[in-house]
Each structure stands twice: as C-alpha cells, then as structure tokens.
Structure 1
Amino acid sequence: MDIKEQIHVLSEEMIENLGKLVAVDSQLGTPEEGKPFGEGPAEVLSVGLKIAEELGFYTVNLDNYCGYAEMGEGEEIVGIAGHLDIVPVGGDWSYDPFVLTRKGDYVYGRGTTDDKGPVIEALYAMKLLRDSGVKLNKRVRLIMGCNEETGSKCMEHYNKVAEELSCGFTPDANFPCIHGEKGHMSMMAYSKHTKIISMNGGFVSNAVCDSCTTVIPADIGLKEKLEAALADTKLQEYQVTEENGQIEIYAKGVPAHASTPALGINAAGVTFECLEKAGFEDDFVKFYNTHLGTSCDGAGVGLKCEDAYGNLTFCNGIVKTENGVISCSIDIRVPVTLQEADVRKMCEGKLEDENGRIEIEEIGDPLFFPRESPLVEALYKAYVDVTGDTEHEPMVIGGGTYAKSLKNIIAFGPEKLDIDYHIHSADEFILVSEMEEAVLIYMEAIKNLLAI
C-alpha cells in the first residue's frame, strides 16, 4: 500500500477525531484557576492531547495555556504550531457549528479549517512518518495553542516555560508558503457628539462588521430617504422601521477576515454612508465617513500605502454604543517594509477633529523571511513535490499567525488560494480530499526540516 492509500485509509479516523475537537466550544471564556482562557479552551486541549496519546505520542500540558505532542530525539526541535481555540460562531449557519457535518467531500463545523483540522493533519503526518521508520535526528513537536484568536498569550507562556524551536511552521494560513506577514495595528474611534441613539454591530475586531442595528430620531421623510439610499447598496439585506419617534435600521453586509476586508461589505460603514446620503446631519456620521469610510485603505487617516509585497488594509470590525458614546474597532494590516515610526508619522495630526477622535492602541512589527532562506525553500519544495504546482509562489499575507509569536517558523498551508473556506464566518468547512493531501505535504515538510 503506497503512502496516499495509507492516508486515505486513515481519513475516516481523522474526521472522527476532528469531530471530537469541533464538538468543544473553545472560544475565549472567563479565566479561572488553572484555566487561563476559560473552560472551553482547557477542555479542547485535553481532548487534543488525549487524541495524541492514543496515537502513541508523548504529551505535555503547559498549564492549560497550550500543550504539545512529541516524537524523536535530539536537542533540536522541528516545531509545528496549531491552535484549538476558535472565534465566536456568528452568522447564519446551515449546520450546527459544534457538530461535524459531512456532505460528500465537505466537512462543516467551526474550526474545521481554522485551525482544528490542520492540527489533526499535522498529527497524522507525524504518525505516518514515525510509523514509516524515517530516522528522526531531531525531535518533532506539535504545539496545540489555546489563545491564537485573541492575543496568542498561549505562545507567550510557551516561550517562558518551554524550549525554543529550531525551525518549523504553523498550519494556519495558505499554501504554497508564507514568507512574510504584515504588521498589525489596532485603533479605536470614538464619537464626541452624536444624535444617534444607539448603533451596535460586529462580533470580533478581526473581521468585517457584517451586521449592524442603528437607532436614530425620526424626522419627516427620513425613513423613505434611508430606504432609497439603502436600496442602492450591496447589502445582502436591510430593513427600516419607524415607531414612537425613532427609526431603526438593520443592515446585513458580507463577512470577511480583517486581512482582506475588501472582500466583505461593512454593514456599519454602509449605514453611515446612507445616513449622510439621506440628509441625517450628525457630527459622528461626518467623522466616520471622512476618517474610516468603506474604502478599506486607511486613506481617511493618511495611511493609504503599499510596498512590493502588498498594500495596507483597514477594517472596522465592531461598533457599539455605551453611555451615549459610539466606539468603532479598527484592525489594520501594515506592509512588511514599514516600521512603527513610519506608521505613526503618516497618521500624525489626522486622528482627531471636532467631531470625533481615534486612538492608536497597538502597532505590531511585521514578519519577513527572504524567499531564498532555507526554511522557505524546505517548505515550498514539500508543497511543489506533492502537488506539482509551480505556478504559485511563496507570498506575503495580511493575516497574523503564530509565526510572529515563536522563533524560526513561518505559516504553511493548509488553505488553497482559490477557495473560500468561510473561516471566521458561517458554514466554515474543510475538504476531505485536501486533508489527505495536506497530510502528505506535511510529511514531506517535516522530512525536509529534519534535513536542514
């Protein structure tokens, strides 16, 4: 039986184990003693480590921040870092997000592609490599993190209590290979004066605000003007109702990850645009439309720019109202050749006026490995040898992965560039055929890294 047949024989077992991980709601919870990210992440780590133990691996739980499964010997470590935590469910699912549902080649459930499925793929790549008798001159360690989606505090803990990786990858992005990740910048916009009674939308800061409900004072003819403006947009759905001197606007846009916000439709942004078009005079409406807007390029705060590896992206994820103040989260991905000082200088003096203000919360450094580096070459070769695809080259992305938290690793698969797997949105899925292929790619990748 050749290796592809061996992987195919194991595919049902892989899916069964993936179902055990998907069944756990592992989004960030309330911290408690011994469970820094709450009950769900601790439970899913326990499940993941048990699966690894049943496959014959040595396992370690690092205080429920993360854990790992390991094989081989030696001082050097080939690391594979995946995560078991998830973003909130959100959206309108066709299937129960916590029950793995298979429809032909498609397997649905929250975390199937981001990132529980890839953890299973890497685990079975390790198993098959071990069982094949390949000489393991280094240790191979699969790290299972529990806080990638909300800060990567799990990897901060790993760096404090565990050994540094010699080389490796995180299966939490795209094939063929990621040799750079844009810097991450977060901002918050606040209203100073507004007639808007309430505005609330979005569920995570690192995804486009895909639904929004807004309440404003009613005025003669305003409802009709709003309906006309909303009808001329790309919203999936909208509704305008008037009652007791107030108008409520519901807008449903299109979700997208913050690294590619132009693929989505910002429901809050479209609502702000339509309020202005309908003649609703308001200070914060003016501020939002001039400083944030829907262009996704940061032009309103002086940040529109690009380098040889990509352009800056600008995403409004959450809008909420508290004590009469509207706040908007802003997620920005900064080109890899820009440093913090460059970014601050570009937006200096452009973050506040009489209508609103924007505060910079964080500016994170980018990650970049030269295309010709041994790490990039080893992973890219594994991908090409298995798939035969030489059309696609190693690339730079806007998303952030564990590669920024751990030394000597880059992101490597498992997503194909031409498929939308609905990560961070409803009906997230993974393809069984691609799972099988990824196992083989990861086997080759580990062998190449053992040879570095």
Structure 2
Amino acid sequence: MDFKKEALQYKDALLKDLKTLCQIPSTMDMSSAKDGQPFGEMPRVALDQMIAIGQRDGFVTDNCDGYAGSIDIGEGDAVFGILGHLDVVPVNKTGWHYPPFDCTQDGDMLYGRGVADDKGPLLAAYYAAKIINKMDFEKKMKIRVIFGTNEENGSECVAYYFKHRPYPALGFTPDADFPVVYGEKGIARINVKGHFAPNGLMSFMSGDVVNIVPGHAQAVVDSHDDLTESYQAYLEKHQLTGEIEDYHGKTKLTLKGVSAHGSTPELGQNAAVMLAHYLVDHVENDFVNFIDKYFYEDVNGKKLGVFKEGHMGLVTCNLGIISYSEGKGSLSIDFRLPHEMSEEEFIPTLATTFTMHHFTSFDYDWTNALFVNPESDLIKNLHQAYVDVTGDHEHGPQCMGGGTYAKEMPNCVAFGAEFPGHNNGMHQNDEHILIDDLMDAVAIYAAALYNILKK
C-alpha cells in the first residue's frame, strides 16, 4: 500500500479533530482538580473529547478514573501500545501571533498549542491505526491508543494507568523526533530553598514550570542609585529587551529572554540568569550571587561540578523556576543526564554545593535513563518504516535529552513526529507544524504498524 496516498484521504478529518482538541486549553489546573479530573477541569475535557472520537469511529474505549484513557483498535489478546498525551504547557500572555488555543492554518502551517506537542502527533498515530485496521491482513496484535493528561508535569497519569491496566507487549510514543529514539537521558529535578539577607533585593521571580527555559524575569530592588542608564546599557550589550520603572519608591526591572524546552537549554536564553548577571553588580545578595556564579554561561553543570559526557551526549541543566521574596529564596532545576551518570555520583555532589551556599532544604526526583538496544526488532522496524516513507538514509536511530512516556512502559520508545532539521517550537510561542509533516507522520506510523503487526 502507498501509505502516503492513503494518509491524505484522512487529511480533512484529522485536521478537524485536531482543531477540536487544540481549542481545549488543557493545561494542568489543580484549583479545579477533584475525583475524576485529577489534574483539573480542562485536561479532563480533552480526555473526554478523545474518547468521544474513538466512540464516534466505533472502537472500544476506556476511561481510567480521569487520569488517562484508551481506544482499542482491532482484535486479539496481545496489544501494541501507542502512548500520547493531551495536556499542554502554559502559554505566555504575550508573544503569540496566532490564537494559542486553536488550530490556525496559515499557508502550509498549523499554529496552536498542542499541534506538535502532542495532540497533532497523537491523532496522526490514531489515524494510522485506523488505516491498519481497514487493511486485510492477519495481525499479531490489536492496537491500543493510550492518552494521558499529565505528561508535562510528571506523567502521574500513565503511572496511575499502568497500576490499574496491563502493559501492552511493546509500543511507541509519538512525542519526540524522527527517526526513532532508542535512548532518553535520565532526568533529575532539584528543588532547593534557603534564607538570604536582602541587601537591596526585595523580590526576584521567573519561570512557571521547571522544564522550560524561562523567557521572562522580574526583580524589585531598593537601590540608592539610578539604574536606568546602566540597565539600558546592559540590555544593549547583550542584545536583550526589558524595562526599568519606579515601583512604589523602589526600582522594578523586567527582562525578556528566549524560551526553549528544558532538555535543550542551549537553544534558549534564560531570562532569570541574564537578569541575575546584571543584578550581581548592584545588590549584595547571596541568592543572586549564587545564580550568577553557577548558571551564567553554563547549561551543562560544569560550574556545579556535575558535568559528564556519555553515549547520549552532555549533561544539560535548566534553571526553570526562581522565587525570592522577604529573604526566602527557592530554585527548581531540571537536569538531563546520560545513562552513565548514576544517582549516587550526581546527588551528593549537588547537595554539598547547595548546602555550602545557605540552602537549607534540598529535595529531588530522579528518573533513570532509557536505553533500548538499537539492534532490536522494535527499533529496526520503526526505523525502516521511516526510511520507506521518507527515503531518508542519512539520519539513523538516535538518543535525546527529552523525557517521554517511553520510560513509563517496558519495550517502548519515542518515535516522531518532529522531522530532522525542523523546529516546531514546542513549549514556545507560536507552536506549529507543517501539514505535510503531520500527514507524513500518519504514513510513517501506518508503515511501522504494518511492519510490526503482520504475521
């Protein structure tokens, strides 16, 4: 079968479903959390909508207490799993040129939160499963499309799901890059708190979630000097934008950076770090000094003493959330680690550094790296499907710093849907995806399912 030609027959239906899903602002909202909607109202609305799509198409659906849902396509006891997510990261109040919670077509591009991460790819895989279900060949397994509602904030959704539902035999998650990803770095999330004498710093805030490079920062300082001239010179020197203004007799400074995914902090410009680098010359505050000393011009943990390069690449470090007020300061940091870096090696080194600098509380979450043999049948079948549809022999199976649902299930890897050389702006303003890329993803997923399910 010509899977690209077959995929195009579903284009209008897929885009209609995608628009419906993207119009649901399914960010986590614990203020509206309750039984049946553990991560808030809108993630549950998105879950119900995806289940309704499966029911519309005549498939068996399942709602696992509002944490996650599934659609079974085909028959049989053995199951091949496709794991995607319906929740999205928050949007900035400014910087969007298109409605963030919609699916706007402009030329050959779609814009909106979720079109690339992960509502678009999830639907691409779902429609691929529909194509395979229509084909007349003997299949080893049925397909179960599983969709969670908390991937962006810890993946508690599928952790709960797999405590109450069995694992599929194997599977993939359409929530990363093409070609297939056989290795994902480990993730360490560090949260520290401490007390620091203000010495001119009244407040310092930046970041909403730990796995995004903060694109905005603000601070209020009590300075005897007029900082206007020096701040404007600093902004010009570093090609930054920001503002300085009087704030109830004190000075308020804001700075705009460049957001990026926390697994690739080198692609962003951390607004908090850049603001701290200015403040360090104007306030004698140890909280600011610490940020500048250990994070300025270093996204690989070298200054913190945890740098390492392994098969998956370098350690990366994103200072994602900064909060300081009335002498109390806290930092939340996202590290991505090659599988050669052990918890026993990493954590004590960090803990010692923070303790030496007046941080009295140190908490962390640790997720081991994922590493699947690149010579396994799963990797070979998925990659061959990518090659067959695209003709791309240059890009091979790969490793990455991002963390996906693949770590939540045995025999599972990340597979698409961002193509080599493309940047869909995931977690950024004007998130987007080429319509051709989305339809090619449908074809690749269909070819992959055919390779794996045929007897």
Specify if TM > 0.5: yes
Matched ranges for 1:360-379 at <5 A: 360-379=363-382
Q: Which of 180, 190, 195 matches 2:193?
A: 190
- Give CA deviations for 1:323-372 in whole Å, capped at 9, x if unaligned: 43122211110112222112124435222334546724112211101211
> What is the RMSD of the two structures over their aligned residues, measured on CA atoms?
1.8
Matched ranges for 1:25-424 at <5 A: 25-29=25-29, 30-90=32-92, 91-193=94-196, 194-195=198-199, 196-235=201-240, 237-242=241-246, 244-276=248-280, 278-347=281-350, 349-356=352-359, 359-424=362-427
Cα–Cα, structure 1 residues 290 and 2, in superposed 2: closer, same or farther, change >3 Å? closer
| 1:15 equivalent in structure 2 | 15
Measured after TM superposition, the shift of residue 417 of structure 1 is 2.7
The code of the aligned residue for 2:318 comes to C
2: CA distance, partners of 1:231 / 1:192: 33
**Mapped contact 1:180–1:395 kept (Cα < 8 A):** yes
**Mapped contact 2:84–2:122 kept (Cα < 8 A):** yes
**Mapped contact 1:26–1:85 kept (Cα < 8 A):** yes
| 1:428 equivalent in structure 2 | 431
- Give CA deviations for 1:67-122 in whole Å, capped at 9, x if unaligned: 11112222221100000011111252111111211011111111011000011101
1: CA distance, partners of 2:79 / 2:428: 35
**Mapped contact 1:187–1:358 kept (Cα < 8 A):** no
Structure 2, unmatched stretches of 5+, are none
DSSP 3-state at the match of 1:85: coil
Cα–Cα, structure 1 residues 97 and 136, in superposed 2: closer, same or farther, change >3 Å? same
**Mapped contact 1:255–1:265 kept (Cα < 8 A):** yes
DSSP 3-state at the match of 1:382: helix
2: CA distance, partners of 1:43 / 1:349: 44
Measured after TM superposition, the shift of residue 4 of structure 1 is 2.8
**Mapped contact 1:340–1:364 kept (Cα < 8 A):** no
2: CA distance, partners of 1:355 / 1:382: 53
Of stretches 122-131 and 278-287 in structure 1, the one that deviates more from structure 2 is 278-287
The code of the aligned residue for 1:11 comes to K
| 1:439 equivalent in structure 2 | 442
1: CA distance, partners of 2:106 / 2:116: 16
DSSP 3-state at the match of 2:58: coil
Measured after TM superposition, the shift of residue 286 of structure 1 is 1.6
The code of the aligned residue for 2:86 comes to L
**Runs of 4+ off more than 6 Å:** none
- Give CA deviations for 1:113-163 in whole Å, capped at 9, x if unaligned: 100001110111011111122322211111011111111111112211112
1: CA distance, partners of 2:217 / 2:4: 47
Query: How many residues were matched structurally?
Result: 450
DSSP 3-state at the match of 1:149: helix
Q: Work out the percentage of aligned pairs sharing the same amino acid.
A: 36
